[in-house]
Amino acid sequence: MGKVTKDMTISNVLQMDRGTASVFINNGMHCLGCPASSGESIEEACAVHGIEPDKLIKELNEYFSNKAK
């Protein structure tokens, strides 16, 4: 499984694994189906929603690491 980065879009990550939706939602990002989710980077979406991008990226990568175990 690839590593999640700030320049990826939300839809890219959801395509990798739909289970990541819970990570986004738990971090206050409820816009998973909006058109912007496929057009802006995770970093840009975090800026719009006042979310710390490094924290979100860390949790997304932990999700994939834990799933691989």
- Outline where the chain has alpha helix (H): 10-16, 21-26, 42-49, 53-68
Sign of CA dihedral 45, 51, 57, 63: negative
Residue 35's pLDDT is: 83
Domain architecture of the chain: domains with CATH: 10-68 (1.10.3910)
Give residue 39's Cα distance to chain centre. 13
Give the integer Cα–Cα distance in Å for 42 and 48. Answer: 10
Which pTM value belongs to this model? 0.90
Give the integer Cα–Cα distance in Å for 44 and 66. Answer: 26
13-46 tens-digit pLDDT: 999 999 999 999 999 998 788 888 888 999 999 9
